[in-house]
Structure 1
Amino acid sequence: MINIKSSVFWRFGGVNFFYFAIWTLIITFLPLWLNKEANLDTAEAGIVFATMSIVAIILEPIYGIIQDKLGLKKYLFAFVILCLLFIGPFFEYAFIPLLELNVFLGSIIGGSFISLCLYSGVGVVESYCEKSSRANGFEYGHTRLFGSLAGGAFAFTGGIMFVHNANSIFWICSISALLLGILLWSIKVKKSDYQKKDDSQNEKPNVNKESIFELFKNKSFWGLCLLIIGSASLYDVFDQQFPNYFVQFFPDSRTGESLFSRLTSTQIFIEAGVMVIMPWIINKIGSKNGLFLYGLVLFVRVVGTAFTDEIWLLSFFKLLAAIEMPLMLISIMKYIVSIFDIRLSATIYMLAFNVAKQLGVAFFSVVMGKLYVEIGFQNTYLIMSVTIIILVCIGTLLMKSDKALSDLTITKEKVRDMS
């Protein structure tokens, strides 16, 4: 049940709305901008995306440790917002001159800045919101659906803006960051509120060398990392260049860009609807099964794209992403708090999800970028689909199931109720 009476719930909904408005605009239109405005080919654009991932790999463990020590303090979140405020000026005045000076250097600087805002920053945003949802008694997925609503709205309007003025979308990002900062400042979370739930009352800092080393001995941790590399990493790599692949089937690139933005908008609105019921579904099937299903849907989407050049089928496979994101976002959060030490939730999320994901993205962005040039999109998609299914299956086999834990909890509750 969505907690519509809680002002904190609505404010966190707003936080998700404005952050993922920025995320959608950058992730959706950056590949097109790099190709159309910056004149980078797929291999050169791959350097930008690889740099984004490498910077995230370095920062995410640090961010995770800091966020677990901070608890619900907002300092790290505020730093991410400060970076977001400079998106408009950076893309308008700095990025292209840097690329013209030196493509490699410009790509590294640009990728590093975008990573501070997105690839590194998203872990801070999502782990903070997840901790806050448990502390205040609402489902993380229900506030995260506001992010999907923002994604749908801004993917549609962003497409219109991009066609008329490609740089305008980046100034909208800066304005959204300002509103996000005001909203975050307005949220007051008292310590007593944070500790009132049984599952969060012992959530005191527990990040030290011993706890990290113990985590690295956990087979489920490494299984989760492999599954994430095979699914979330390749999800991002697939989406990096898919807009350019999609647009090439149209005689006029503007027509293709416009349709792609409408498809993305539709996909994310569907995603928002799915997000409402996804916590209930994951509670029923278990988060491990949810993560495996996420990987399976991605496999179908990539292999399907490899075997068709029909626009309507490509559009269908694009819309399948509306199922993937809710599956992944809800499952990963629930799996972490079910299987691992809850006091390390931000650290584990940063390591097992974001760092593992960005390691995969950094590697596959370069490899797939070269393959696009050498063997074409469709053959590359076939290689990608085989990689997905292998890594997802191996990861799933290594992971401990949370379904048994869920069933045990339900049984204990029934016994307690009967007594």
Structure 2
Amino acid sequence: MFERRIYWAISAYFFFFFVSFAACYSLYSIWLSKSLGLNGTDSGIVFGLNAAVTLVAQPLYGYILDKLGLKKNVLIFLGVLLAFSGPFFIYVYGTLLTNNLIIGSLVGGVYLGIGFQAGSSALESYAQKLSLKYGFEYGRARMWGSLGWAAITFFAGKLFTINPDYNYWIASGAAIIMLVIILATKVDTKYYRGALLFNTICN
């Protein structure tokens, strides 16, 4: 029963993480061009810096997760960080990009790289460790992330034509739900390394 609660908790976290991710990112290039008026070259700079930060953040997340084991610190951090995605995109990021492309790209690259792009890899790594410890299929939990992405993209285009800000507020709301879920979920971190080793050998 406890294992099933863990499965549903991480599945729900996946779902709302990717709702938040897709709400901000599925129409990202359109937002840059249509809402902010950036040309192709400027958008390329933005995407390039986003990718650069992601490359740096991914191994950093991996190192931190190895040290923390199954402690929930990284998932709590992601929930708190992404809860501010609405205000960040609406009041900070767009203004910075239109006033100073390089500074805006750097700030946005850090936020998006740590919060979403490298953050998704960190979440997947954590979920894999949970699946080994509690004996559920990782792919089934990860599937809920894909469903979350699909669910919000179905509405994101329509909302964007009304007001792009609606998508960013949805992203913040989904992140708050993520945070509530992970704070309410108790994860047993005892014998974590031994459990992983045992499951790895058996499999």
When normalised by structure 2's length, the TM-score is 0.90
In structure 2, the gaps of 5 or more residues are: none
Shift of 1:104: 2.2
Shift of 1:22: 1.3
Give the structure 2 partner of residue 64 of structure 1. Answer: 62
Give the structure 1 partner of residue 18 of structure 2. Answer: 20
CA contact (8 A) 1:136 1:193 kept: no
1:227-268 superposed Cα distances (whole Å, 9 cap, x missing partner)? xxxxxxxxxxxxxxxxxxxxxxxxxxxxxxxxxxxxxxxxxx
Q: Which amino acid aligns with 1:139?
A: E
Shift of 1:148: 1.4
Number of aligned residue pairs: give it: 202
Matches within 5 A, 1:348-359: none
Q: Distance in 1 between matches of 2:164 and 2:130?
A: 36
Shift of 1:195: 6.3
CA contact (8 A) 1:52 1:114 kept: yes
- Which one scores higher on RCO, CA 8 angstroms, separation ≥ 6? 2
Matches within 5 A, 1:55-94: 55-94=53-92
CA contact (8 A) 2:89 2:168 kept: yes
Which is greater in Rg?
1
Q: Distance in 2 between matches of 1:154 and 1:103?
A: 29
Give the structure 1 partner of residue 42 of structure 2. Answer: 44
Q: Which amino acid aligns with 1:170?
A: Y
Give the structure 2 partner of residue 135 of structure 1. Answer: 133
Match of 2:93 among 92, 95, 112: 95
CA contact (8 A) 1:18 1:180 kept: yes
Cα 1:201–1:192, aligned 2, differ >3 Å: closer, same or farther? farther
Match of 1:35 among 8, 30, 33: 33
Q: Distance in 1 between matches of 2:94 and 2:134?
A: 44
1:263-297 superposed Cα distances (whole Å, 9 cap, x missing partner)? xxxxxxxxxxxxxxxxxxxxxxxxxxxxxxxxxxx
Q: Distance in 2 between matches of 1:71 and 1:24?
A: 28
Q: Which amino acid aligns with 1:184?
A: I
Q: Distance in 1 between matches of 2:85 and 2:185?
A: 24
Q: Distance in 1 between matches of 2:166 and 2:19?
A: 14
Q: Distance in 2 between matches of 1:135 and 1:38?
A: 46
1:355-384 superposed Cα distances (whole Å, 9 cap, x missing partner)? xxxxxxxxxxxxxxxxxxxxxxxxxxxxxx
Q: Distance in 2 between matches of 1:73 and 1:144?
A: 19
1:16-36 superposed Cα distances (whole Å, 9 cap, x missing partner)? 100011122222111110111
In structure 1, the gaps of 5 or more residues are: 204-336, 343-408, 411-419
SS at match of 1:120: helix
Q: Distance in 1 between matches of 2:28 and 2:191?
A: 40
Give the structure 1 partner of residue 176 of structure 2. Answer: 178
Match of 1:115 among 113, 121, 124: 113
Q: Which amino acid aligns with 1:122?
A: S
Give the structure 1 partner of residue 104 of structure 2. Answer: 106
CA contact (8 A) 1:98 1:106 kept: yes
**Matched residues, percent identical?**
33
1:131-156 superposed Cα distances (whole Å, 9 cap, x missing partner)? 11111001111011111111111011
In the TM superposition, structure 1's runs of 4+ consecutive aligned residues that sit over 3 Å from their partners are: 191-197
CA contact (8 A) 2:69 2:189 kept: no
Match of 1:11 among 9, 12, 20: 9
Q: Which amino acid aligns with 2:77?
A: F
Q: Does 1:124 align with 2:122?
A: yes
Q: Which amino acid aligns with 1:115?
A: G
